[in-house]
């Protein structure tokens, strides 16, 4: 539903994206990865019409997004910016209610539909119990769920998120990603997120977009495209890619960079760069026991390809 | 084009069993006001605060109509106001009422202007008397008063001066879409430059003209009444549709630009609209009553703390501004009677300590 045509975008004098063509599949969880300053946030912000392209266009269902009324876009596409400013003293329900803005006017500030949508969004993001709390008193993980609830209240088909897990601890990262996964699987939403963690990207994405220096290096299902070559090309890092013991998705483990890091002789130091086939028995220290592995794997619906 | 409807049906068919309409989905602390096609979100605490302020304003007005030489008992003031025809009609209705009404209208206008500009800049310092609008009006008025121009020219000149200063500030602050910091900094710089120019004009003028300008610059309601109140009230009335929209639009002023764009707003256009309305009101009221300091700065901040909202509330700030200026004018008239102090001197004397008190109390609560 979202695509770019010959997109050129950037800030002030600096051109970040230079002639980007990209197709983002509908009803999929797309994750954009890449090194710092590769233009992934710029891409997401341009896709969400937060910055205007210098030339080329972003197409939403075939129409240039810049030419559509911004309210109409906001009913079809919601975006969570990287670190939104938390307004002081605003309650959770109030903030989630702001997501109804595209359906409101100053003479029609609230409707039954608004109430229903806010309620649904708060239940879905598991913040209904916090409705009366001021957002600035919440923990980072709760806050992020509130922001996601706000975007859910927009009732859009697509949801774009710029590094939604940054500044969260591991458990809260998983919580947020699980929520996004559920939105895709249970609600059929199109989700596009910029993530830093390759392994999380591989675990949750249906469609992975790897970027470097403002260009797309590879795009496709992570199980098909994510290998040691790609990681080296994109991040300039040698690594070993093995199947994740829990999900079977590609798991990226940086190669041994210093012999003093290895306490036991796990990987021959010379083997890592050439360990292209993921089936090689590398890095198998302390893997989860088989029983719990199955139990964990069972709790995650398969990616459904 | 089928996308939105499909998204809607997805949500509808999976309607959560939990979705029995409950209080949770209502906005905490707010009620809905339905009037025909209108449905407005009303903060319950603002209604309470506004009601208290209206009562206090009425009491202050009656007090101001009553105190003075001669003293008129409040009962007689009310009797005179009812139009019954009393011996006090001349003192209450003709001498004191115009000035009290002017104080209320001008105070309300300062409150509105301060709320709009402070909210746009997300900075309490961005009030018209800090960011150069008052100083622009002051410079123009000083030039008019010291150059021997006719008295009728002073107000239009001040209005023009305030607007020109505002345009300069907005133009300087406009890069990066009126980013808050830049806007305030530009305003402070312009204010200082204009104040220096005003000093130069005053010093080089005849002493008597300089003194007249000095009084204008402090802001006084002495010798003013219906005509000035009508100008300010008229401006507020003309801007009423804009203000009705502003009351709603200010709700999103606390959101950052990306978030605002994401929910379908155009934050820069919105800020220009809100700031433009605020500047017009500020220039208009300053042109009529002079540079009354501090009301526009303090009224929105005190109102915000009373209502406990994240941004200054428009109606309560207007009522508070009105109350503050009525009290300041009363104090100026009576405190050192028969010597009259300009209201502008006392607004800061009354409003300042109260804001300090609220700041201290707020710090204790948050720590």
pLDDT tens for A64-100 read 999 999 999 999 999 999 888 888 888 899 899 999 9
- Chain A positions touching B266 (Cβ under 8 A) are 70
Nearest to B159 by CA among B180, B188, B128: B128
**For residues A199 and A171, is the Cβ–Cβ distance under 8 A?**
no
B241 at the A interface (CB within 8 A)?
no
- Domain assignment present for B361: no
Q: Alpha-carbon distance B327 to A264, whole Å? A: 81
Tally of CB atoms within 10 A around B123: 17
Please tell me which residue of chain A has the smallest CA distance to B175.
A12
- Chain A positions touching B251 (Cβ under 8 A) are 98
For residue A33, the distance in angstroms to the closest alpha carbon of chain B comes to 21
The backbone torsions φ and ψ at residue B69, rounded to the nearest 5 degrees and listed phi first, read -115, 115
- Domain assignment present for B99: yes
- Domain assignment present for B163: yes
- Domain assignment present for B331: yes
**For residues A240 and A256, is the Cβ–Cβ distance under 8 A?**
no
- Per DSSP, A256 falls in state P
Restricting to B residues 307-326, those with a Cβ less than 8 Å away from any Cβ of A are 308-311
What the block records as the tokens of A22 is 């990209």
Domain that holds residue B340: 45-65+92-356
Q: Alpha-carbon distance A57 to A277, whole Å? A: 39
- Chain B positions touching A108 (Cβ under 8 A) are 37-39
Q: Which of B7, B25, B255 minimises the CB distance to A118? A: B25
Helix axes B97-121, B314-334, angle to 10 degrees: 140
0.85 surpassed by complex ipTM: no
* Chain A to chain B Cβ contacts (< 8 Å): 152
The backbone torsions φ and ψ at residue A20, rounded to the nearest 5 degrees and listed phi first, read -95, 130
Query: Which residues lie closer than 8 Å to A205 by C-beta, 6 or more apart?
Result: A29, A30, A31, A221, A222
Per-residue pLDDT of chain B (367 residues; tens, 9 = 90+): 334 444 333 344 444 444 444 443 567 777 878 877 788 888 888 899 999 999 999 999 999 999 988 898 999 999 889 888 888 888 888 889 999 999 999 999 999 999 999 888 888 888 888 889 999 999 999 999 888 777 888 899 999 999 999 999 888 877 666 666 777 888 899 999 999 999 999 888 888 888 888 888 888 888 888 999 999 999 999 999 889 888 888 888 888 889 999 999 998 888 888 888 999 999 999 999 988 888 999 999 999 989 888 888 999 999 999 999 999 999 998 888 788 888 888 888 887 787 788 778 765 554 3
Number of domains in chain B: 1
- Domain assignment present for B136: yes
What the block records as the tokens of B271 is 């800020």
Q: Do A45 and B258 touch (CB under 8 A)?
A: yes
Q: Do A74 and B245 touch (CB under 8 A)?
A: no
First to last CA, chain B: 52
- Domain assignment present for B181: yes
∠ at Cα A212 (A207, A217), nearest 5°? 50
The residue whose two tokens read 């977009």 is A209
For residue A201, the distance in angstroms to the closest alpha carbon of chain B comes to 24
For residue A4, the distance in angstroms to the closest alpha carbon of chain B comes to 18
| R_g of chain B, CA atoms, integer Å | 23
Q: Which of A88, A119, A187 minimises the CB distance to B25? A: A119
- Domain assignment present for B13: no
Query: Which residues lie closer than 8 Å to A230 by C-beta, 6 or more apart?
Result: A210, A217, A218
Q: Alpha-carbon distance A177 to A140, whole Å? A: 14
CATH 3.40.50.11750 holds for A2-226: no
B207 at the A interface (CB within 8 A)?
no
Optimal mutation site among A115, A128, A136, A187, interface B, most CBs of chain B within 10 A:
A115
Q: Do B254 and A76 touch (CB under 8 A)?
A: no
- Domain assignment present for B30: no
- Chain B positions touching A128 (Cβ under 8 A) are 18, 24
The backbone torsions φ and ψ at residue A54, rounded to the nearest 5 degrees and listed phi first, read -75, -40
B32 at the A interface (CB within 8 A)?
yes
Could you tell me the CATH number of the domain that includes residue B290? 1.10.3470.10
For residue A216, the distance in angstroms to the closest alpha carbon of chain B comes to 24
Instruction: Report the SS3 class of residue A239.
Output: strand
pLDDT tens for A175-210 read 999 999 999 998 889 999 999 999 999 999 999 999
Query: Which residues lie closer than 8 Å to B207 by C-beta, 6 or more apart?
Result: none
């Amino acid at each position: 539903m979202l695509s770019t045509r010959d997109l050129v975008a950037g800030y002030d004098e600096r051109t970040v994206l230079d002639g980007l063509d990209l197709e983002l599949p509908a009803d999929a969880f797309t994750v954009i990865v890449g090194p710092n300053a590769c233009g992934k946030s710029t891409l997401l912000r341009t896709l969400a019409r937060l910055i205007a392209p210098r030339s080329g266009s972003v197409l939403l269902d075939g129409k240039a997004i810049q030419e559509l009324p911004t309210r109409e876009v906001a009913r079809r596409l919601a975006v969570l910016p990287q670190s939104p400013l938390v307004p002081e003293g605003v309650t959770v329900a109030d903030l989630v209610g702001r997501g109804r803005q595209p359906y409101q006017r100053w003479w029609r500030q609230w409707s039954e539909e608004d109430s229903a949508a806010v309620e649904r969004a708060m239940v879905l993001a598991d913040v209904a119990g916090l409705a009366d709390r001021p957002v600035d008193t919440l923990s980072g993980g709760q806050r992020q769920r509130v922001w996601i609830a706000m975007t859910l209240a927009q009732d859009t088909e697509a949801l774009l998120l710029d590094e939604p897990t940054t500044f969260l601890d591991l458990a809260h990262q998983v919580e947020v990603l699980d929520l996004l996964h559920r939105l895709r699987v249970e609600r059929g939403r199109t989700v596009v997120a910029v993530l830093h963690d390759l392994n999380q990207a591989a675990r949750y994405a249906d469609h992975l977009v790897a970027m470097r220096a403002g260009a797309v290096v590879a795009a496709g299902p992570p199980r098909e495209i994510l290998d040691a070559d790609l990681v080296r090309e994109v991040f300039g890092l040698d690594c070993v890619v093995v199947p994740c013991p829990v999900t079977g998705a590609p798991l990226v483990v940086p190669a041994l960079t210093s012999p003093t890091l290895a306490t036991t002789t796990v990987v021959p130091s010379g083997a890592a760069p050439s360990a292209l086939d993921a089936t090689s028995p590398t890095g198998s220290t302390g893997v989860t026991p088989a029983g719990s592995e199955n139990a964990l794997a069972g709790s995650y619906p398969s990616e459904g390809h | 084009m089928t996308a939105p409807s499909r998204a809607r049906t997805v949500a509808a068919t999976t309607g959560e069993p939990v979705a029995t309409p409950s209080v949770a989905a209502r906005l905490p602390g707010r009620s809905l006001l339905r009037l025909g096609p209108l449905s407005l979100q009303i903060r319950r605490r603002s209604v309470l605060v506004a009601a208290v302020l209206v009562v206090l304003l009425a009491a202050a007005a009656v007090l101001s109509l009553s105190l003075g030489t001669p003293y008129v008992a409040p009962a007689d003031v009310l009797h005179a106001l009812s139009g019954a025809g009393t011996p006090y009609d001349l003192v209450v209705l003709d001498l004191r009422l115009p000035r009290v009404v002017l104080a209320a209208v001008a105070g309300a206008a300062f409150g509105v202007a301060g709320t709009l500009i402070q909210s746009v800049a997300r900075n309490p310092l961005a009030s018209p008397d800090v960011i150069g609008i008052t100083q622009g009006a002051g410079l123009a008025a000083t030039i008019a008063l010291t150059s021997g121009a006719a008295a009728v020219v002073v107000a239009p000149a001040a209005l023009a001066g305030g607007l020109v200063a505002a345009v300069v500030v907005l133009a300087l602050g406009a890069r990066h879409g009126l980013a808050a910091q830049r806007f305030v900094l530009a305003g402070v710089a312009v204010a200082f430059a204009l104040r220096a120019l005003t000093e130069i004009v005053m010093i080089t003028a005849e002493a008597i003209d300089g003194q007249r300008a000095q009084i204008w610059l402090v802001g006084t309601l002495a010798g003013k009444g219906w005509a000035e109140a009508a100008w300010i009230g008229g401006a507020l009335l003309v801007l009423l549709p804009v203000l009705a929209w502003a009351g709603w639009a200010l709700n999103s002023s606390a959101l950052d630009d990306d978030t605002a764009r994401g929910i379908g707003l155009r934050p820069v256009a919105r800020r220009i609209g809100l700031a433009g309305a605020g500047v017009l009101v500020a220039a208009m009221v300053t042109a009529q009553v002079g540079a009354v300091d501090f009301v526009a700065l303090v009224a929105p901040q005190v109102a915000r703390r009373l209502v406990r909202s994240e941004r200054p509330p428009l109606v309560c700030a207007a009522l508070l501004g009105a109350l503050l200026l009525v009290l300041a004018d009363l104090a100026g008239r009576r405190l050192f009677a028969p010597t009259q102090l300009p209201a502008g001197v006392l607004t800061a004397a009354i409003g300042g300590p109260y804001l300090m008190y609220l700041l201290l109390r707020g710090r204790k609560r948050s720590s």
